[in-house]
Structure 1
Amino acid sequence: MADTETTEPKYVVDSLISEDIDEYLKQHEHKTMLRFITCGSVDDGKSTLIGRLLYDSKMIFEDQLDALSADSKKVGTQGQEIDFALLVDGLAAEREQGITIDVAYRFFNTEKRKFIVADCPGHEQYTRNMVTGASTADLAVILIDARKGVLVQTRRHSYICHLLGVKNIVLAVNKMDLVDYQQDVFDKIVADYTEFANSIGIESFTAMPISGFKGDNITKHSENTPWYEGPTLVDHLETVEVLSSVDAEKPFRMPVQWVNRPNLDFRGFSGLIATGEVRPGDKVRVLPSGKTSTVSKIVTFDGELEEAGAGQSVTICFDDEIDCSRGSVISVADNPPQTADQFEATLVWMADEAMVPGRAYWLKLGTQMVSATVAEPKYEINVNTMDELAAKTLELNAIGVAEITTDKQVVFEPYVENRALGGFILIDKMTNATVAAGMLNFSLRRSQNVHWQALDIGRKQHAALKNQQPAVLWFTGLSGSGKSTIANLVEKKLHRMNRHTFLLDGDNVRHGLNKDLGFTEADRIENIRRVGEVSKLMADAGLIVITAFISPFQADREMVRSMLPEGEFFEVFIDTPLKVAEARDVKGLYKKARAGELKNFTGIDSPYEAPRSPEIRIDTTKLSPEEAANLIVDTLLGDA
């Protein structure tokens, strides 16, 4: 590119000041949008490449260029060369270390198309950030340093892109200027990558030799690579098929984000169309209810539409009133998506804390939010060898396959068919942190074969027969806190009052129902899950259920709470200081734990998460067991 074209780049609209700006904007309004990511190993030149694209497409203000030149001198760029990576690496830590940590999104456009590009971090420890960028991408530019060839992170990022359904792959062999533009270097790297790509299922990719720093084969063919006859990077980005055009050919699907009811005369259902097209008069089905209706009109802020398709946000109105709310999915009537509550899924674990099999997490799939538990992984995937490794859990950045069970039916399609209805995240219930990204592979057959049987006698009839309100008194506290003693007194008092009760004690349950479980974190979670299910069944029978379990984890107690109707779960915190509980040591367990003879003992080498806002708190340093029992019974019957 000539000096006159590169030394004083202007923002793309500067040259239009004397022209009709409205006409210009109208021309660019209907351009297609391509979302793509740049990824690869550390220092492969991802940020530099994006900076070059922004620079060459004249998407930099003059004051930005001046600041960029000054920053380039500060970080040691020689001569008058510009360090394009500084356009993208916005975090101070990134500039200091010369690496990308966060996912940086940038917008630019050419005469043919608009682009959103995500610069993804190369370090393994930031793989979770890379997953975020790839989840919405139509295309991935996998960069390889021509001096280093295919590296571990090249493989990892390629596999994740393939896993997340990125169909268009560009293999950009970067820094060709540092290997004298040798064709044999390029050919060897392409051959090595082809072998790897075939092994993970990548059927095709576009390879090109480039230099992000020098600009070779970015916007125009380079004289330094006369042996390369393929497209430039920008040419390829402008012409490749985008995901939205593919989605438009699929059956109509729209997750409902909210019910639009501005007044009593209007009721519509708003959302982003995931796939397909819809028109007034179309027959549609609402899931999971399965109710059908006809589209009466399609409304947007600018007025009504004759048709709408994938990628458009609209409000759809029906001819009649049927059940539809946030989390529902509107689909074409004769080809709806599936519903299920048990799945096989591929997970990318994104939390510093390892996955805990059996723990309840929030599963968010589009606009649907349900409670879900993850079983012990079937296997973990070694992204370097593609081997399936045995695993008990998943650590940070690990990729594995596991079964997931949700507490209600989920509307879905396999991720390979529909990203919007197949991709989900898992959220920690206590911290609200995203802990994993996942892709639903298929529903388990047993979820289709097991159905709820309608019964004529339900919990209301059972409770009326016993003349009482069902409830679960969930006693929690350290070993030796007095849970079993107080729970026993509570049941005796309720029994004398002709109340129908049942006491589930932690030790007693482990002699039968849960005798196969140990005391690891995963086993403790499963222990509580089973007891929660039994408690729910007993409450359905109209009983007042009393449980006495350490139940050390807040998330597991909340899981049980969520099984029951509002107001029927009473968390009873037997608040006894560790020193007091250990001094009692009726069973000698603390002594064994201190001696190292008893592992995973709560309060010693396993944590206890005290309730944050229990319905009843018993301070055993101030109340006797008898006084505590009276307080619990009075609270229960007073609220019943």
Structure 2
Amino acid sequence: MTPGKKKYPSPIEKPFCETDTTTNGELQQIDPRIFRLIIFGGMEKEQEALLNHLFQSPQQVIDNQQAALERATKNIVFFDTTSNLSYRHFNSTQRKYIVATVSKPGQYLDNMVCDAFIADVAVVLVDASAQDTDQVMAYMCRAWLVGIRHVILAMNNADAVFRNQQNFEDICTTYKHAVEPLGFKSVTTIALSVLTGDNIISLSDKMPWYTGQSLLSCLDNLQVESSSDYKVMFLVQNSDRNEHGLSKVRGVVATGELCVGEQLQVLPSGDTGRVVQIDTPDGNVDSVNAGETVTLILDRTVAVTMGDVLMPINTSFEMSDQFQATLFWMHKDIGLSGRRYLMKLANQKTNAWITNIKHLIDINTNAQLPSRQLELHDIAVCNLALSHPVYFDTVQNTLIFGSFILMDRFEQTTVAVGFIRHYLRRSRTVHQQALSITRQDRERLNRHRGKVIWLTGLSGAGKSTLANRLEKQLYASGRRTYVLDGDNIRQGLNRDLGFTEAARVENIRRVAEVARLMMDAGLVVITAFISPFRAERRMARELIGAENFVEVFVDTPLEVCEKRDPKGLYQKARSGRLPNMTGIDSPYEPPDNPTVVFKQNSSIQEILALLKLDANISD
């Protein structure tokens, strides 16, 4: 071995087990709750050495209990994430543990965020010799931002650095003072050595000056909030009826302890039923704790479907469609205000969009930084709006209802993980106003249906010219129309917007909202905008309704548009005087499946024939 090079314990063949035994072979009674642990910091080999010391304590494998624990781990996360970490298990004489590790710096944001959904405590390995407060602050910021509230600061190589208790306590005081503003519920410092195993399983005589606990003793004695202590929330996966016609509801006990005899209400329907039986893979039980997947038999038939939530009657729970949240961006495509995503919160799904990126958070200092967009690995405080209210809580109370993921609605990939900070008051003060005159009433008065004709194409493609021709033809036939043109809108409503990608997204979002309102007035609305991104055109289609939306791709080649160049924009872009020009240095994404592809020799009659303005209109 090279002189001075540390040799860490090698990985063992079977680094976990599921039960402990007493000396006479009888099973030791241990806490049935699975304690969830994440380890990060230090080098990968140091983490492995630490785990090997924990795993090599005297234990015995019992097959049926291993199977039970494996079933339990499947219920830890209630929705899929992009985490690819494997979990390892070990038991002390007091608790069952599941451990996840994060060692590579590139994994910190993505995998730590995913594993935060299951973490009771984080063990942060730091080199005692470095005494680097900035590094410790960076580690602790990561833990705090993903919702972990109990941290053990493991000071590795303490045997070679500290000579007395005072030296150790001085640096511990410095670290604790630095992280105090983060508001952890507990921060425990432990002196240890992963090379020799000192103070990991038990206290070592090699550091006689250390008066604290061993790492394992600290883990065993740490008191953390249990999901079973929270009010009962049952997440419905599916339901049917048994042979007696009673409702069978399968799902996960997300929080609380659920007992036979509990009277439950179904949200959002409000239907009620009493639990008469709880079925588990191991048979019927009288009660079940948080984290278990079970089937409930109710005393009657109730209306319940996937995505519903069951809770005891007379239990209050918050609903909102607007939040402030901490977002961890996990996708190469940038995140922008106004762009729509799919939110999954517990077992609930809804469309969501960022309404305001308030600031980024510097992961190393916790400082606030301004930004208009989110890039890979960014952490930001954002306001979000949802298409309909969901049941929620803050991340301080429960990770299950305080945490969510955002997904690309078409590729079904995870783009961000979020933690709810609080709901926005505006969601409680702004309500839909019921009006006496409906869209159908206005359409009957106009004697035609409202529609939106959405023209998209490059600058100079002929969108405004086509919009004018369409309106003239419709007006001549007695239709009530209006044209929303890009240049005209930017002189008023969207005067504050530039031409960055974020500004273009917001520009189209506002136009789509205005077009929807004008269509609700019974008008045929023609929009003439480049609208370069598919995501925003899809958003407009969904907002307006596919049955009301006619997408027309004005398919004029770039070279033709450049020859026309009616505003001189391409010439300026080619000379470098006009950045973010669509087709030059900013992309245009052609529609995948437009209603009409309009070329130079096309006829507007093809568009008019698809409108069906007179369908379903009666006096």
**Structure 1 residue 35 and structure 2 residue 36: aligned?**
yes
Q: What residue is the counterpart of 1:634 in the other structure?
A: 609
Q: Secondary structure at the match of 1:160?
A: helix
For 1:153 and 1:256, the matched residues in 2 are separated by 43
8 A contact 2:551–2:595 mirrored in 1: yes
Residue by residue over 1:6-59, the C-alpha shift from the partner in whole angstroms, topping out at 9 and shown as x without a partner, is 99988888999xx999x96xx789733111001125568223312332344569
For 1:512 and 1:7, the matched residues in 2 are separated by 67
Which TM-score applies when normalising by structure 2? 0.84
For 1:103 and 1:362, the matched residues in 2 are separated by 24
For 2:90 and 2:549, the matched residues in 1 are separated by 54
Q: Over aligned residues, Cα RMSD in angstroms?
A: 3.5
**Structure 1 residue 409 and structure 2 residue 409: aligned?**
no
8 A contact 1:121–1:130 mirrored in 2: no
Q: 1:293 aligns with which of 250, 272, 278?
A: 272
After alignment, is 535-544 or 474-483 more displaced? Answer: 535-544
Q: 1:380 aligns with which of 360, 363, 366?
A: 360
**Structure 1 residue 590 and structure 2 residue 590: aligned?**
no
For 1:606 and 1:467, the matched residues in 2 are separated by 42
For 1:374 and 1:604, the matched residues in 2 are separated by 28
Amino acid aligned to 2:97: F
For 2:369 and 2:328, the matched residues in 1 are separated by 15
* Structure 1 residues 539 and 10: CA distance shift in structure 2, 3 A: closer
Q: What residue is the counterpart of 2:65 in the other structure?
A: none
**Structure 1 residue 421 and structure 2 residue 401: aligned?**
yes
Unaligned runs of 5+ in 1: 61-100
Q: What residue is the counterpart of 2:102 in the other structure?
A: 120
For 1:466 and 1:7, the matched residues in 2 are separated by 78
**Structure 1 residue 228 and structure 2 residue 228: aligned?**
no
For 1:270 and 1:496, the matched residues in 2 are separated by 60
Residue by residue over 1:211-263, the C-alpha shift from the partner in whole angstroms, topping out at 9 and shown as x without a partner, is 222111222221211222333222232333354xx222222222333344688
Matches within 5 A, 1:557-596: 557-596=537-576
Q: 2:149 aligns with which of 145, 167, 185?
A: 167
**Structure 1 residue 187 and structure 2 residue 169: aligned?**
yes
Q: 1:547 aligns with which of 527, 549, 552?
A: 527
- Tell me the CA shift for residue 407 of structure 1: 1.6
Matches within 5 A, 1:190-269: 190-241=172-223, 243=225, 246-260=226-240, 265-269=245-249
8 A contact 1:34–1:114 mirrored in 2: yes
Q: 1:176 aligns with which of 158, 162, 176?
A: 158
Q: 1:482 aligns with which of 462, 481, 485?
A: 462
For 2:247 and 2:484, the matched residues in 1 are separated by 49
For 1:609 and 1:591, the matched residues in 2 are separated by 22
Q: What residue is the counterpart of 1:524 in the other structure?
A: 504
Q: 1:614 aligns with which of 582, 586, 594?
A: 594
8 A contact 2:265–2:272 mirrored in 1: yes
For 1:390 and 1:192, the matched residues in 2 are separated by 30
For 2:35 and 2:229, the matched residues in 1 are separated by 18
Q: Secondary structure at the match of 1:563?
A: helix
Matches within 5 A, 1:327-346: 327-346=307-326
For 2:276 and 2:304, the matched residues in 1 are separated by 16
Q: What residue is the counterpart of 1:509 in the other structure?
A: 489
- Tell me the CA shift for residue 423 of structure 1: 0.7
- Tell me the CA shift for residue 496 of structure 1: 4.0
Unaligned runs of 5+ in 2: 1-8, 62-82
**Structure 1 residue 136 and structure 2 residue 118: aligned?**
yes
For 2:90 and 2:315, the matched residues in 1 are separated by 38
For 2:556 and 2:191, the matched residues in 1 are separated by 68
Residue by residue over 1:582-630, the C-alpha shift from the partner in whole angstroms, topping out at 9 and shown as x without a partner, is 1221222111222222222111121112212222223x2xx42xx3412
**Structure 1 residue 473 and structure 2 residue 474: aligned?**
no
Amino acid aligned to 1:35: R
Which TM-score applies when normalising by structure 1? 0.82
- Tell me the CA shift for residue 533 of structure 1: 1.0
Amino acid aligned to 2:288: A
For 1:298 and 1:457, the matched residues in 2 are separated by 51
Amino acid aligned to 2:228: A
After alignment, is 588-597 or 323-332 more displaced? Answer: 323-332
For 1:188 and 1:555, the matched residues in 2 are separated by 54
For 2:185 and 2:172, the matched residues in 1 are separated by 14
**Structure 1 residue 359 and structure 2 residue 339: aligned?**
yes
8 A contact 1:12–1:59 mirrored in 2: no
- Tell me the CA shift for residue 375 of structure 1: 3.2
* Structure 1 residues 133 and 588: CA distance shift in structure 2, 3 A: same
8 A contact 1:429–1:555 mirrored in 2: no
* Structure 1 residues 43 and 260: CA distance shift in structure 2, 3 A: same
Amino acid aligned to 1:634: A
**Structure 1 residue 434 and structure 2 residue 407: aligned?**
no
* Structure 1 residues 182 and 45: CA distance shift in structure 2, 3 A: farther
For 1:339 and 1:8, the matched residues in 2 are separated by 49
- Tell me the CA shift for residue 137 of structure 1: 0.3
* Structure 1 residues 15 and 247: CA distance shift in structure 2, 3 A: closer
- Tell me the CA shift for residue 327 of structure 1: 2.8
Q: Secondary structure at the match of 1:33?
A: strand
- Tell me the CA shift for residue 551 of structure 1: 0.7
Residue by residue over 1:469-526, the C-alpha shift from the partner in whole angstroms, topping out at 9 and shown as x without a partner, is 4432221111111222223333333344444433222222222222222222222111
For 1:487 and 1:318, the matched residues in 2 are separated by 60
8 A contact 2:273–2:302 mirrored in 1: no
Q: Secondary structure at the match of 2:516?
A: helix
